[in-house]
C-alpha cells in the first residue's frame, strides 16, 4: 500500500466531528498508572487534534505523538499540541516498549495500517499492569462514500490512473478486536456507534472524504484537469447518495471502539 500525502488543513475542516469519537473513547478509559503524570503515546497523531484532547485530560503527562506523515507532524508541532514530543515513524515498526507507556491511544489511524491486528498484542505487552490501550477505527467501508469511490476507481476510465494499488488496509470485525486483546491478557471493552453527522455547505461529503478516504486518489491524481474531472464525477454520485435536506446533509458514520486494560 503506497503512503498518501496528507493535507492537515483539509483534514481539520471537520476537526470537531472527527475528534468527537476520541472524546467518547476516552470517556471509557479508566485511570491509568502514574496519573496524572502518565506516559502516553498517540499513535497516528495526525495534525495533533487527538494529542490536544489527551493533553486536556492529562495536563502533566509526557505525551509522544507518532505519525508517518511529515506534513501532519509539522502542523501538530506548531498548531496541534506544541507541548508534546513528536516522532516520524511507521506504526508497524515503532516499538512502544521503548517508551514504557501507561496509555497507548490510536484514533482513526489503524484503518490505514496493514496487518494492524498483529500489532495489538505487541502494544498490549508494552503496557504495565493497569496500563490501557484504547483505539477507534471507522467502520463505514460498506457505506456509499466508500463503495462509490471503489467502483469509480475500478472503472476502466480511471483504473490506470487511480486503481486499486493504493487502497487502504481496512478494519476487522469488533469481535476480532475483542478476541485478539483478550488473548493478549487484557480486560476488554469493545463497542460500536453510528453517528448521524450533520454536514453543511456545498458538497460536504466530498469535502469530508477529501481529508481522508480520497487522500490516496488525490496523491496519485496530480494532473489538475483529471483531478477536477474525477472530483466532479464522484461529487455528483455523493450528492445523489447523500441528498441535502433542510438542515444540511446527514452523513451516517459507523465507528468501532476498543479499550483494553492490561491485567
Ligand atoms: C485520519 S488521521 C487521524 C489523526 C488523529 N489521530 C485524529 O484523531 O484525528 C490518520 C493518521 O494516521 C497516520 N498514519 C497512517 N498510516 C500510518 C502508519 N503506518 N504509521 C504511522 N502513522 C500512520 C496518517 O499520517 C494520519 O496522520
Q: Cell numbers at residue 166, please?
A: 493504493
Answer yes or no: is pLDDT of 116 > 90. Answer: yes
Residue 2 in any domain: the answer is no
Return all residues near 53 (Cβ < 8 A) that are at least 6 apart: 19, 22, 23, 26
Counting atoms of ligand 1 from 1, which one is nearest the CA of 72?
Answer: 27
pLDDT at residue 138 in the model: 96
CA–centroid distance, residue 51 to ligand 1 (Å): 12
CA–centroid distance, residue 45 to ligand 1 (Å): 6
**Residue predicted with more confidence, 251 or 5:** 251
pLDDT at residue 168 in the model: 56
Ligand 1: residues whose CB is within 6 Å? 6, 18, 22, 44-46, 49-50, 67-69, 72, 90-92, 107-109, 112-113, 212
CA–centroid distance, residue 251 to ligand 1 (Å): 22
Counting atoms of ligand 1 from 1, which one is nearest the CA of 91?
Answer: 20
Answer yes or no: is pLDDT of 164 > 90. Answer: no
How far does CA 128 lie from the centroid of its chain?
25
Residue 42 in any domain: the answer is yes
Residue 25 in any domain: the answer is yes
Residue 1 in any domain: the answer is no
How many domains, the chain? 1
pTM: 0.94
Strand, helix or coil for residue 226? helix
Give the confidence band of 5 by pLDDT, cuts at 50, 70, 90: confident
CA–centroid distance, residue 167 to ligand 1 (Å): 15
pLDDT at residue 2 in the model: 59
Residue 3 in any domain: the answer is no
Q: Cell numbers at residue 81, please?
A: 499540541
Average pLDDT over residues 44-59: 97
Residue 148 in any domain: the answer is yes
pLDDT at residue 151 in the model: 94
Give the confidence band of 163 by pLDDT, cuts at 50, 70, 90: confident
- Give the span between the Cα atoms of 223 and 244, in whole angstroms: 30
Answer yes or no: is pLDDT of 1 > 70. Answer: no
Q: Which residues pair with 195 in a beta bridge?
A: 253
Ligand 1 atom 15 nearest Cα: 112
CB atoms within 10 A of CB 201: 10
Average pLDDT over residues 227-253: 97
Average pLDDT over residues 33-47: 97
- Give the span between the Cα atoms of 141 and 241, in whole angstroms: 15
Average pLDDT value for the chain: 95
Q: Cell numbers at residue 79, please?
A: 498548531
Write out the residue range of the structural domain in which residue 129 sits. 8-262
Give the confidence band of 4 by pLDDT, cuts at 50, 70, 90: confident
Answer yes or no: is pLDDT of 260 > 60. Answer: yes
Average pLDDT over residues 206-230: 94
Report the CATH number at residue 249.
Answer: 3.40.50.150
Give the confidence band of 68 by pLDDT, cuts at 50, 70, 90: very high
Strand, helix or coil for residue 211? coil
Residues 168-196 have pLDDT tens digits of 568 999 999 999 999 999 999 999 999 99
CA–centroid distance, residue 176 to ligand 1 (Å): 21
Q: What percent of the chain has pLDDT over 70?
A: 97
Return all residues near 81 (Cβ < 8 A) that are at least 6 apart: 48, 51, 52, 54, 55, 63, 65
Amino acid at each position: 500500500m503506497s503512503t498518501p500525502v496528507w493535507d492537515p488543513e483539509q483534514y481539520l475542516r471537520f476537526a470537531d466531528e472527527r475528534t468527537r469519537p476520541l472524546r467518547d473513547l476516552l470517556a471509557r478509559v479508566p485511570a491509568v498508572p502514574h496519573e496524572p503524570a502518565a506516559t502516553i503515546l498517540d499513535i497516528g497523531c495526525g495534525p495533533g487534534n487527538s494529542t490536544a484532547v489527551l493533553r486536556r485530560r492529562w495536563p502533566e503527562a509526557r505525551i509522544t505523538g507518532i505519525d508517518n506523515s511529515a506534513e501532519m507532524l509539522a502542523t501538530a508541532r506548531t498548531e496541534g499540541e506544541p507541548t508534546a514530543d513528536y516522532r516520524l515513524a511507521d506504526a508497524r515498526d515503532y516499538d512502544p516498549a521503548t517508551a514504557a507507556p501507561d496509555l497507548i491511544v490510536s484514533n482513526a489511524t489503524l484503518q490505514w495500517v496493514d496487518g494492524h491486528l498483529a500489532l495489538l498484542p505487541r502494544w498490549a505487552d508494552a503496557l504495565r499492569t493497569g496500563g490501557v490501550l484504547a483505539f477507534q477505527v471507522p467502520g463505514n467501508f460498506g457505506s456509499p462514500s466508500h463503495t462509490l469511490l471503489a467502483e469509480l476507481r475500478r472503472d476502466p476510465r480511471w483504473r490506470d490512473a487511480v486503481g486499486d494499488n493504493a487502497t487502504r488496509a481496512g478494519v476487522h470485525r469488533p469481535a476480532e478486536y475483542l478476541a485478539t486483546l483478550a488473548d493478549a491478557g487484557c480486560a476488554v471493552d469493545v463497542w460500536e456507534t453510528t453517528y448521524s453527522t450533520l454536514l453543511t455547505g456545498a458538497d460536504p461529503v466530498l469535502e469530508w472524504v477529501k481529508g481522508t478516504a480520497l487522500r490516496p486518489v488525490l496523491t496519485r491524481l496530480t494532473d489538475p484537469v483529471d483531478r477536477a474531472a474525477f472530483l466532479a464525477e464522484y461529487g455528483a454520485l455523493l450528492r445523489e447518495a447523500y441528498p441535502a435536506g433542510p438542515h444540511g446533509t446527514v452523513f451516517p458514520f459507523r465507528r468501532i471502539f476498543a479499550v483494553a486494560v492490561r491485567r
